[in-house]
Amino acid sequence: MATTTKPLLSDLVAGMCRVPPNYIRPTSDRPNLHEVESLDGAIPLIDLQGLNGPNRFNIVKEIGLACKSYGFFQVKNHGVSEAVIDNMLRVSREFFHLPESERLKNYCDDPMKTTRLSTSFNVNTENVASWRDYLRLHCHPLEDYMQEWPLNPPSFREDVAEYCKNARGIALRLLEAISESLGLGKEYIDRALGKHGQHMAINYYPPCPQPDLTFGLPGHTDPNVITILLQDEIPGLQVLKDGKWVAVNPIPYTFIVNIGDQIQVLSNDHYKSVLHRAVVNCEQERISIPTFYCPSPDAMIGPAPQLIDVDHPPNYKTFAYSEYYQKFWDRGLTTQTCLDAFKDSRP
């Protein structure tokens, strides 16, 4: 009997009433959805309105505190218009609703390719699949990558480029604030990132018949500097807080920001890159759009010298970001972060 293999999950799931075996997690590694807390307000919501005014000192302090105790925060009054956000979500939904043959024009399994549609996390290395399709785009500098992006839906390039410029604006403002909150100059992190990089994923999580058996994305930390996440109105993101998974329910027109591994390194562990995951549900598809702000591949990353002294030796070696990034994709998503491989082991 000829079996038709569908590369994308979206095309595989129609009418399916059981999760295929390769998506089922071992019993010790399942979402345990009934144990998850859903505390609104568990993750701080920071108002960025006055960030460039007389109240800057207090807002920077608030950001620093959130980075230290949560590794996650939400932001409002961030300056990105509702129209830009609506267009980004709309065009993403339209993309994933295109006919299979149209979407597959962008399909590629190689994690180093700068524009590609794929599924799960890394189909070349993983043992268990995740309940997700995703379109991944490099987006800084825009003019280097835009011509690789999908041409369908027709407004895709324009809507996404507009969103990318806005997301970059927030990332840069937050990096200045984070730099200041660490007692480094406002420009320190900016300069540490070399020519800078910006990637984006458009995550598409189809409804799942047995959401207790699988993950949209299993627990992981992000390998980049900071992540600015836009999610639609369907819950799914969970963050590890004091050993418990906490749901971060969507607040329309806000962004969720999290510290990535490179801030943990630059800050010499003052700020921690926190584990998070995405779960799925049986009713509704979900779209989430993380912007991964990152160093350029050649940037050398290590703990800031100002944060090192006799009592605080460097906890990490200095490495090229490309080395870290490669490791992240090779190793697959596990709750043990890649950071362990870059520890400074001098006595």
Which positions touch Ni ion (CB under 5 A)? 222
d(CA 12, CA 206): 10
> 237 contacts which partner out of Ni ion, ligand OGA, none, CB within 5 to 8 A by kind?
ligand OGA
Residues 6+ apart with CB under 8 A from 38: 235, 246, 247, 249
Question: Per CB under 6 A, which region of 19-27, 52-60, 110-118, 231-239 contacts ligand OGA?
Answer: 231-239
Q: Is 284 left (phi over 0), alpha (psi -120 to 50) or beta?
A: beta
Burial of 340 (0-12, 13-18, 19+ CB in 10 A): exposed
> 250 contacts which partner out of ligand OGA, Ni ion, none, CB within 5 to 8 A by kind?
none
> Contacts by 110-113 with C-beta closer than 8 Å and gap 24+?
111/329, 112/326, 112/329
3-state per-residue secondary structure call for 292-315: EEECCCCCEECCCHHHCECCECCC
Residues β-bridged to residue 204: 133, 287
Closest separation in Å from C-beta 265 to ligand OGA: 18
> 278 contacts which partner out of ligand OGA, Ni ion, none, CB within 5 to 8 A by kind?
ligand OGA
Residue 262 lies near ligand OGA (rule: CB under 6 A): no
Contact pick of 137, 201, 230, 338 for ligand OGA (by CB under 6 A): 201
Structure tokens belonging to residue 55: 């109240």
Contact pick of 222, 259, 272, 295 for ligand OGA (by CB under 6 A): 222
Closest separation in Å from C-beta 62 to ligand OGA: 23
Residue 217 lies near ligand OGA (rule: CB under 6 A): yes
What does DSSP assign to residue 272? Answer: -
Cis peptide before 252 (omega within 30 of 0): no
Residue 278 lies near ligand OGA (rule: CB under 6 A): yes
Residue 237 lies near ligand OGA (rule: CB under 6 A): yes
* Residues 179 and 187: beta-carbon distance below 8 Å: yes
Please name the helix (run of DSSP H) or strand (run of DSSP E) that holds residue 179, with its range, or none: helix 156-181
Residue 225 lies near ligand OGA (rule: CB under 6 A): no
Residue 223 lies near ligand OGA (rule: CB under 6 A): no
Judged by CB under 6 A, how many residues of this single chain contact ligand OGA? 11
Residue 279 lies near ligand OGA (rule: CB under 6 A): no
Question: Per CB under 6 A, which region of 10-18, 28-36, 229-237, 307-315 contacts ligand OGA?
Answer: 229-237
CB of 67 or CB of 304, closer to ligand OGA: 67
> 119 contacts which partner out of Ni ion, ligand OGA, none, CB within 5 to 8 A by kind?
none
The four Cα atoms 7, 325, 178, 135 give a dihedral, to 10 degrees, of -20
CB of 291 or CB of 315, closer to ligand OGA: 291
Positions in the binding site for ligand OGA (CB under 6 A):
201, 203, 217, 222, 231, 236-237, 276, 278, 288, 290
